[in-house]
Chain A
Amino acid sequence: MATTTLTPAASAYRSGLYEWITTTDHKKIGILYVINSFLFFFIGGLLALGVRTELAQPGLQVLTNEGLYNQLFTMHGTVMIFLFIIPMLAGFGNYVVPLQIGAPDMAFPRINALSFWMLPLGGILLLMGFVTGGAASAGWTSYSPLAQDRVGQAVNDAAGTGQDLWIMALVLIGTSSILGAVNFLVTIFKMRAPGMTLFRMPILVWTVLVTSVLVLMATPVITSALIMLFIDRNYGGHFFDPVSGGNAILWQNVFWFYSHPAVYVMVLPAMGMISEILPVFSRKPLFGYKAFVFATAGIGALGFSVWAHHMFTTGSVYLPFFSLMTFLIAVPTGVKMFNWIFTLFRGKLTFSTPLLFALGFLSMFLIGGINGAFSAAVPVDFALHDTYWVVAHLHYVLFGGSVFGVMAGLYYWFPKMTGRMLGEGLGKVQFVLMFVGFNLTFFPMHQLGLAGMPRRIADYAANAGWNDLNLVATVGGFIIASSMIPLLWNIFISLRAGKIAGDDPWEANTLEWATSSPPPPYNFDHLPEIRSERPLFDLRHGRAGTH
């Protein structure tokens, strides 16, 4: 597909930069997504280090301007969610999904390029707030009326353009997500290779499919909410401001109607990546493939009925319903956990870096699932809501889950993307640093939350008993940051002199390993016969391994 445009403009084509900017090849776009997401990961990480540095000790040491502190955690959350995790997973999906279903490209290559290029634009727009009088500072949730621009309420600190830039950036990024979701759905439904039935699709494709449905149903809701907030702020709309007859809780309902499913957007594809990696490195098929597919669909469906568990303390939601649904969503999640463990069970495990990060996902996401169940018990949530317990919980899900999944995926697919292996030694160093740093940072936050430390405060009383745990968390944060050094060094030297990967360095199961590394623009010269969800395994071992 991408090869059809080789016209006389060959000199321009040869220019590397021009080729990358104008490419419609899903693999190049996927790599662009990954690079762009990593850049924002580092920005978001620096913002987090600012927060952690201020909290290391009681008193205001670094961010004596508390408005700036609020900007840091607001932008940290926004950047990490909207410009790192979601696009990073979309990037892996972009690269891997067409290959895994035996397609030559995405269904709409130009729309694919458009979806990507909206992201750096949105990101720049968002960060412009820092140089136009203050970035958004009402939290990544931007609850109204705090996020309103109200006369005489300069203390809101949301009066500047930062909040408007935040809205515009999120509308752009949301539009990018919607276009991407349509593209994924059409690609998955219409472009599968002969023999690739729905129940022979790799699990990653299934999770991207369910994720795309979630994006398509939820993102338009927040996009319209964002536009309403923009009208509220700039044209005297009265949607979310009670002073003029609006409803402050309405914003929370529409915001979380998107943002809770967005949690699954941020974790389902990572689950899919883990489900590709665990079977390969234990040399067994995924245990309970169909149950896993149904559990994924179940999480997606239930994910639309739990948004108000972020609002238990508002006094404005019907508590028992949302409590029950939140508890129930633990069931399909638990099914997946056991499927993964029993994939390892009686396998023959090779502890390559992708498996280490996948095991990190398993053991940390387990904690993120269990500490989430505490908040499903509404009265317990009355104690824990908006404390550091919640910060611990969401990072065990989104860092312990998604980020470890992303790292596993990076080590796993880097050879396919570049033709070279990442170094195992540096990979293991990175894993150990990240695993230790992650737990030092976020585990003490459970105890801080129980001890009553609220989120989003720049300072705390020296006699509150929170000093030691905060210091540990800050040290952990810097250990996480240091784990980026072996990663970057590893990428740098592996690109130059890494071991040549070959087509299939991992003895993997799925179609992307049936072509060269990196694959040609059209992906496949020929495809193996697809008779199960593991066509390459069948090719190696015949039908020995199947029922």
Chain B
Amino acid sequence: MSSTPGSRPSTTAIIGWLIAAAVLVAIVVLVALNAQSVWTSFFPPEAKSVQGQEIRNLYDIVFAIAVVIFVVVEGLIIWTVIRYRRKPGDDELPAQTHGNNLAEAIWTIVPTIIVIFLFVISWQSLNKIETVSATPDLKVRVVAGQFQWSFEYLPADADAKSKPIFTVNAPLGPDGGLVLPAGQTTHLYLHSLDVIHAFYVPQFLFKRDVVPNTDAVHDNQFDLAIPASGAGQTYRGQCAELCGVGHRIMVFEVHALAPADFQAWYDKQSAAASATPPPAPSGGQAGPPVNVTAQGVKFLEATLTAPAAGFTFHLDNKDAGTPHDLDVLDAGGAKVFDSKEFPGPAVRDLPVPALPAGTYKFECSIHPTLMFGTLTVQ
């Protein structure tokens, strides 16, 4: 029989320790080369909201205490392990210490004081973050559904159930996203159309769940203030609560504008919304209809065929509350037809001008990873 591994620990053990040492050296070298970025990676991003700055201050205190505790206790473990290893041939029994009341009292009382201190300061900062202004400068309802965000701008005297003045349906891009005035306070309501989502902007160090409720009066709400210095900035947001197959594409942008710019944008949006909506089918003789149905954040048609002389998309959006659009991209990915999104359930006719014969891609620009197909123009 071959010898047992227990009888020759040295070779295998040496290999093991060599691996460990190599990894350790590699880590130390990498850390030393990137000391600055490694250090900042232990902190959240610089906070871009007033509430986020409060959270960051608290994080810094918790982090400092945690580092001290970690270094002291982990150091104690390592030192003890190295210092009290058994020497070869030493068979003497060490002192059989069963306990020490003073030491045990100390390591019960001191941590209790530390955690109560941490509780008190985090409670204080929680109260600041949760403070809601009686007169916010703006009220917006953030509406989340599988798998997109839309933003409803509410009247000044609105509550959780008020009708919006206008709605921004696209979550991304220069014409979409949550547009907020920098240097002012916005009161946000979070409304879900289906499952639980979470409104999360990493640079605000903040998230709050968007919970579907039997009655919108129970919807979550909070105040968000971006400092005046944030004007002109865009912040990335993302759904943080698993909401289904499209969870990861549920991204959005927050655009902070200087108050004057915001007012101009706001006036333009509300004017557009109050203008009488244009007659749905534009009178143009755009050609035969091509039927497309959007349901369950999918296009039911994977392939479409249309005449080169021009045609009309007959888009049936069956997803209640979920906006879709229908764009056409050429082989190079350039957008050759662009339509405006609308929430379902609704049907729109979208006249498409003449296109050169060939193969195109059609997609919903809000859900491009889930809703797309091939359009053949003949």
Interface of A with B (CB < 8 Å)?
66-67, 70, 137-139, 143, 145-146, 150, 152-157, 242-243, 245-249, 282-285, 287-291, 313-316, 319-320, 323-324, 327-328, 330-331, 334-335, 337-339, 341-342, 344-351, 359, 362-363, 366-367, 370-371, 373-374, 376-380, 382-383, 385-387, 421-426, 428-429, 431-433, 435-436, 440, 446-447, 450-452, 454-460, 469, 490, 493-494, 497-499, 541, 544-547
Q: Considering the chains assembled together, what is the distance between the CA atoms of A546 and B240 in angstroms?
A: 55
Known: A248-B196, A338-B107, A459-B248. A313 touches B93 (CB 8 A): no
Q: Considering the chains assembled together, what is the distance between the CA atoms of A66 and B245 in angstroms?
A: 6
Choice from B6, B13, B129, B370 contacting A379 with Cβ under 8 Å: B129
The 9 closest A-B pairs by CB, nearest first: A452-B202, A423-B5, A425-B12, A545-B96, A377-B122, A457-B248, A383-B205, A327-B115, A432-B16
Known: A245-B214, A370-B69, A452-B202. A315 touches B209 (CB 8 A): yes
Is the beta-carbon distance between B96 and A313 smaller than 8 angstroms? no
Is the beta-carbon distance between A359 and B77 smaller than 8 angstroms? yes
Known: A146-B244, A450-B43, A458-B248. A378 touches B126 (CB 8 A): yes
Given contacts A70-B242, A422-B6, 17 further A-B contacts (CB under 8 A): A146-B244, A242-B214, A283-B86, A313-B198, A319-B126, A342-B97, A371-B66, A383-B52, A383-B205, A425-B8, A425-B10, A425-B13, A429-B16, A459-B248, A493-B5, A494-B4, A497-B4
Closest B residue to A246 by beta carbon equals B214
Is the beta-carbon distance between B147 and A155 smaller than 8 angstroms? yes
Known: A383-B55, A455-B242. A287 touches B98 (CB 8 A): yes
Contact residues in B for A320 (Cβ distance below 8 Å): 119, 123, 126
Closest A residue to B222 by beta carbon equals A315
The answer to whether the Cβ of B74 comes within 8 Å of any Cβ in the partner chain is: yes
The answer to whether the Cβ of B317 comes within 8 Å of any Cβ in the partner chain is: no
Q: Considering the chains assembled together, what is the distance between the CA atoms of A286 and B240 in angstroms?
A: 44
Contact residues in A for B116 (Cβ distance below 8 Å): 327
Choice from B66, B97, B214, B248 contacting A370 with Cβ under 8 Å: B66
27 example contacts (A-B, Cβ-Cβ < 8 A) are as follows A66-B245, A143-B241, A145-B194, A145-B196, A245-B214, A283-B86, A284-B94, A289-B98, A291-B99, A313-B209, A314-B209, A339-B104, A348-B86, A370-B69, A378-B126, A379-B122, A383-B205, A424-B13, A429-B13, A432-B19, A451-B45, A451-B202, A455-B242, A456-B242, A493-B2, A493-B5, A547-B98
Closest B residue to A68 by beta carbon equals B245
| CB proximity to A under 8 Å, residues B54-113 | 54-55, 58-59, 62-63, 66, 69-70, 73-74, 76-78, 80-81, 84-87, 90, 92-100, 103-104, 107-108, 111-112
Contact residues in A for B43 (Cβ distance below 8 Å): 450
The answer to whether the Cβ of B246 comes within 8 Å of any Cβ in the partner chain is: yes
What's the least CB distance linking B70 to chain A, in Å? 6
The answer to whether the Cβ of B118 comes within 8 Å of any Cβ in the partner chain is: yes
The answer to whether the Cβ of B314 comes within 8 Å of any Cβ in the partner chain is: no
Best-surrounded residue of B76, B81, B112 (most CB of chain A within 10 A)? B81
Known: A374-B66, A499-B6. A436 touches B115 (CB 8 A): no
Q: Considering the chains assembled together, what is the distance between the CA atoms of A493 and B5 in angstroms?
A: 9
Closest A residue to B124 by beta carbon equals A379
Choice from A67, A245, A284, A433 contacting B19 with Cβ under 8 Å: A433
Is the beta-carbon distance between A423 and B73 smaller than 8 angstroms? no
Contact residues in A for B13 (Cβ distance below 8 Å): 424-425, 428-429
The answer to whether the Cβ of B359 comes within 8 Å of any Cβ in the partner chain is: no
Contact residues in A for B20 (Cβ distance below 8 Å): 432, 435-436
Bitwise, B10-51 to A at CB < 8 A (1) or not (0) is 111101110110010000000000000000011111000000
Is the beta-carbon distance between B58 and A377 smaller than 8 angstroms? yes
Is the beta-carbon distance between B195 and A156 smaller than 8 angstroms? yes
Is the beta-carbon distance between A285 and B97 smaller than 8 angstroms? yes
The answer to whether the Cβ of B279 comes within 8 Å of any Cβ in the partner chain is: no
Contact residues in B for A345 (Cβ distance below 8 Å): 80, 84
Choice from A153, A334, A373 contacting B296 with Cβ under 8 Å: A153
Contact residues in B for A436 (Cβ distance below 8 Å): 19-20, 23
Known: A287-B98, A378-B126. A386 touches B198 (CB 8 A): yes
Contact residues in B for A330 (Cβ distance below 8 Å): 111, 115
What's the least CB distance linking A182 to chain B, in Å? 33
Known: A335-B108, A450-B41, A460-B248. A380 touches B62 (CB 8 A): yes
Is the beta-carbon distance between A373 and B118 smaller than 8 angstroms? yes
Q: Considering the chains assembled together, what is the distance between the CA atoms of A371 and B7 in angstroms?
A: 40
The answer to whether the Cβ of B293 comes within 8 Å of any Cβ in the partner chain is: no
Contact residues in A for B92 (Cβ distance below 8 Å): 348
Is the beta-carbon distance between A156 and B208 smaller than 8 angstroms? no
What's the least CB distance linking A506 to chain B, in Å? 13
Is the beta-carbon distance between B96 and A285 smaller than 8 angstroms? yes
Is the beta-carbon distance between A157 and B84 smaller than 8 angstroms? no
Is the beta-carbon distance between A243 and B212 smaller than 8 angstroms? yes
Is the beta-carbon distance between B2 and A497 smaller than 8 angstroms? yes
Q: Considering the chains assembled together, what is the distance between the CA atoms of A363 and B207 in angstroms?
A: 31
Is the beta-carbon distance between A363 and B77 smaller than 8 angstroms? yes
Known: A245-B214, A323-B122, A327-B119. A348 touches B70 (CB 8 A): no
Choice from B54, B115, B194 contacting A331 with Cβ under 8 Å: B115
Is the beta-carbon distance between A380 and B59 smaller than 8 angstroms? yes
Choice from B74, B99, B211 contacting A287 with Cβ under 8 Å: B99
Is the beta-carbon distance between B242 and A380 smaller than 8 angstroms? no
Known: A428-B13, A545-B93. A386 touches B80 (CB 8 A): no
Is the beta-carbon distance between B248 and A334 smaller than 8 angstroms? no
Contact residues in A for B70 (Cβ distance below 8 Å): 366-367, 370
Choice from B6, B58, B99, B242 contacting A289 with Cβ under 8 Å: B99
What's the least CB distance linking A185 to chain B, in Å? 28
Q: Considering the chains assembled together, what is the distance between the CA atoms of A376 and B242 in angstroms?
A: 22
Is the beta-carbon distance between A373 and B115 smaller than 8 angstroms? yes
What's the least CB distance linking B132 to chain A, in Å? 12
Is the beta-carbon distance between B119 and A382 smaller than 8 angstroms? no
Closest A residue to B67 by beta carbon equals A370
Contact residues in B for A469 (Cβ distance below 8 Å): 41
Known: A435-B20, A454-B239. A341 touches B76 (CB 8 A): yes
Q: Considering the chains assembled together, what is the distance between the CA atoms of A349 and B81 in angstroms?
A: 7
The answer to whether the Cβ of B146 comes within 8 Å of any Cβ in the partner chain is: yes
Q: Considering the chains assembled together, what is the distance between the CA atoms of A348 and B91 in angstroms?
A: 9
Contact residues in B for A494 (Cβ distance below 8 Å): 4-5
Known: A155-B147, A382-B206. A346 touches B245 (CB 8 A): no
Is the beta-carbon distance between B55 and A379 smaller than 8 angstroms? yes
Known: A67-B245, A143-B196. A385 touches B240 (CB 8 A): yes
Contact residues in A for B246 (Cβ distance below 8 Å): 66, 155
Is the beta-carbon distance between A146 and B196 smaller than 8 angstroms? yes
Q: Considering the chains assembled together, what is the distance between the CA atoms of A215 and B76 in angstroms?
A: 34
Q: Considering the chains assembled together, what is the distance between the CA atoms of A68 and B26 in angstroms?
A: 35
Choice from A156, A452, A459 contacting B45 with Cβ under 8 Å: A452
The answer to whether the Cβ of B186 comes within 8 Å of any Cβ in the partner chain is: no
The answer to whether the Cβ of B306 comes within 8 Å of any Cβ in the partner chain is: no
Q: Considering the chains assembled together, what is the distance between the CA atoms of A103 and B208 in angstroms?
A: 53
Known: A285-B96, A374-B62, A460-B248. A348 touches B90 (CB 8 A): yes
The answer to whether the Cβ of B9 comes within 8 Å of any Cβ in the partner chain is: yes
Choice from A137, A152, A425, A454 contacting B240 with Cβ under 8 Å: A454
What's the least CB distance linking B59 to chain A, in Å? 5
Q: Considering the chains assembled together, what is the distance between the CA atoms of A494 and B3 in angstroms?
A: 11
Contact residues in B for A289 (Cβ distance below 8 Å): 98-99
Contact residues in A for B126 (Cβ distance below 8 Å): 319-320, 323, 378-379
Is the beta-carbon distance between B248 and A152 smaller than 8 angstroms? no
Is the beta-carbon distance between A156 and B244 smaller than 8 angstroms? yes
Is the beta-carbon distance between A331 and B112 smaller than 8 angstroms? yes
Contact residues in B for A347 (Cβ distance below 8 Å): 84, 94
What's the least CB distance linking A320 to chain B, in Å? 5
What's the least CB distance linking A326 to chain B, in Å? 9
